[in-house]
Amino acid sequence: MSVNVFGFMRYSVFLIALLSGGVSAVAPPVTEGGTKGIKKDLEAPEFVAEMKAKVFSKEEISVANGEHRFNQTCVYCHGHQGSGGKAKMLQGREFDADYLFKTITKGKKRGSLVMPPWKRTFTPEERWELVTYILSLSEEKKKQ
């Protein structure tokens, strides 16, 4: 009997909390402040702009890092030094840095050819390094 009363009391406390909106009012901020919030921060415009500035300020190192990563991950579709293959050549073309970053982040599709998004594979800093490398490919072509 006493167990039943206790059980009922717990139930009604829960019900009151639910009805007063206590549960739903508390829950959302907790999830938003969790891992989701941290992930979002990495993609926040301020953070991305900061990374871009940092990566471009040490451009020579960034290009080298980008080249290394390109040869590991992108060369299979885009060819040696972006000379093309399964996907378009990236060499000797005029690109906007922000367009490159966005495309690498989100991926791209042309007909049945699909480039996956690289957002989860590379940090913003690593993606900007890839951008500096691809930009360096267009400059090399111009110099020749």
Binding mask 45-84 for ligand HEC (x = CB under 6 A): -------------------------x--xx-xxx------
Q: How far is CA 67 from the centre of its chain?
A: 19
Q: Which amino acid is at 44?
A: A
Q: Which of residues 23-42 bind ligand HEC (CB under 6 A)?
A: none
Select 92 or 108, whichever has its Cβ closest to ligand HEC: 108
How far apart are alpha carbons 135 and 94 in whole angstroms? 8
Min dist. Cβ of residue 109 to ligand HEC (A): 6
Please name the residues in contact with 133: beta carbons below 8 A apart, sequence gap of 6 or more. 62, 63, 65, 66, 67, 69, 70
Choice from 88, 97, 125, 138 touching ligand HEC (CB under 6 A): 88
Q: Decide if 129 contacts 66 (C-beta within 8 A).
A: yes
Select 110 or 143, whichever has its Cβ closest to ligand HEC: 110
Select 46 or 94, whichever has its Cβ closest to ligand HEC: 94
Structure tokens at 50: 């900061």
